[in-house]
Each structure stands twice: as C-alpha cells, then as structure tokens.
Amino acid sequence: MNRALAVVLLAIAITSISSFAQPPTTAPVDFASQIKPILSAQCINCHHSQALFGNLNLENRRRAFARRPQGPAIVPGEPDKSPLYVVLTLPPRQTPKAMPPTGHRIPKEQVELIRQWIKEGAKWPNGQAGVIRPLVTQKPPGS
Ligand code: HEC
C-alpha cells in the first residue's frame, strides 16, 4: 500500500470512529416554545404567588429556583433529583405529590421533554420569555 492511500484510509478510519462516538444530534429543548406551554397549561394555576402549593412558584426563573424548605424543585442536570420531574412520574393519586393532583397524567412526551430539559441544564431565560402568568378571571372593563 502506498503512503498516500494509507493516510487516506487512516483519515477515514478516524472520522468514522469519531462520528460513531458522537451522540445523536438533536436540538436542545427550548424553554419558551416547549416547556413554558406545559407549565402554563398544567401547573401554573396552583403554583404562583397567590396559590403557592408545595412552596413552588413557577412564575419566573428566580421564583422557580427560589429556596424552599423542602429543598430545590429543580436540580439542573439531575431530573431524578428534581421534584418538578419526579412528581410527574408518580402513580396518580397514590400520593399527594403526584402531579397534577387532580388525577390525570400529562402526556408522556411532555414528561419526557421536562426530563430532557432538566438533564440539559434546565435553562430558564430571564425576562419575558421566562415569565409564566396564571390564568386570572378578568372583570369586563367598566364593571
Ligand atoms: C390543582 C392544583 C395543582 C396543580 C394543577 C399542580 N399542582 Fe403541584 N402541587 C399542588 C399541591 C397541593 C402540592 C403540595 C403537595 C404536598 O406536598 O403534599 C403541590 C406540590 C408540588 C411540588 C412539590 C413537591 C415536593 O416534593 O416538594 C411540585 C414539584 C409540583 N407540585 C409540581 C407540579 C407540576 C410540575 C405541575 C404541572 C404538571 C403541578 N404541580 C400542577 C397542587 C397542584
């Protein structure tokens, strides 16, 4: 085998080994478009300043990561140590901690998204993108 061919073959071997070692490239979970809608639809109404169940406030980043007597709700990188994820995996109604407590389970894909988001570091933006508002019943103007 001539030297040039050997070098080419070696280069191919190295590239294929390194591409083999790469994890599959999937886009990281995006808080604003993927996590916020879940928390907003399923969780915020019982977890905000006026309804602070479990001492958990999901209105914004600072509050969601605030110190709680029970310990942190979200441990970036460690979904299995994060109550925010763990409560979604508990059998409904067998413990008061199974969320949502109303008895229904949120879809598996959403639970998986939350797991993946925490695993990737639980990036929760500051500012508007990271603000979740509870549903409030607005009085019609002038009433
Ligand atoms: C109907 C009201 C209600 C809804 C909706 C709700 N929760 Fe809760 N949540 C509670 C109550 C009540 C507790 C306190 C339970 C306890 O510790 O006994 C709680 C506690 C928690 C805790 C703290 C558990 C701990 O170990 O400290 C987490 C985390 C949590 N909820 C996450 C969620 C998530 C995520 C959602 C949305 C999928 C959600 N909750 C939806 C009422 C609610």
Residue 32 makes CB contacts below 8 A (sequence gap 6+) with: 125, 129, 130
Q: Which residue has tokens 């407590």? A: 101
Measured in Å, residue 14 CA sits from the centre of ligand 1 at 50
> How far apart (Å, rounded) are the C-alpha atoms in residues 51 and 140?
23
> How far apart (Å, rounded) are the C-alpha atoms in residues 141 and 55?
33
Evaluate if residue 95 carries a pLDDT over 70. Answer: yes
Q: Is the CB of 40 under 6 A from ligand 1?
A: no
Q: Is the CB of 97 under 6 A from ligand 1?
A: yes
Neighbours of 37 (CB within 10 A): 13
Neighbours of 41 (CB within 10 A): 12
Q: Any idea where the domains of the chain sit in the sequence?
A: 29-130
% of the chain residues with pLDDT over 70: 81
Identify which has the larger pLDDT, 31 or 14: 31
Q: What confidence score (pLDDT) does residue 4 get?
A: 76
pLDDT band at 124 (very low <50, low <70, confident <90, very high): very high
The beta strand positions in 30-89, using DSSP E, are 47-48, 51-52
Mean of all residue pLDDT scores within the chain:
89
Q: What confidence score (pLDDT) does residue 17 get?
A: 61
Evaluate if residue 142 carries a pLDDT over 80. Answer: no
* pTM score, whole prediction: 0.82
Evaluate if residue 141 carries a pLDDT over 70. Answer: no
* Range with lowest mean pLDDT among 31-40, 45-54, 134-143: 134-143
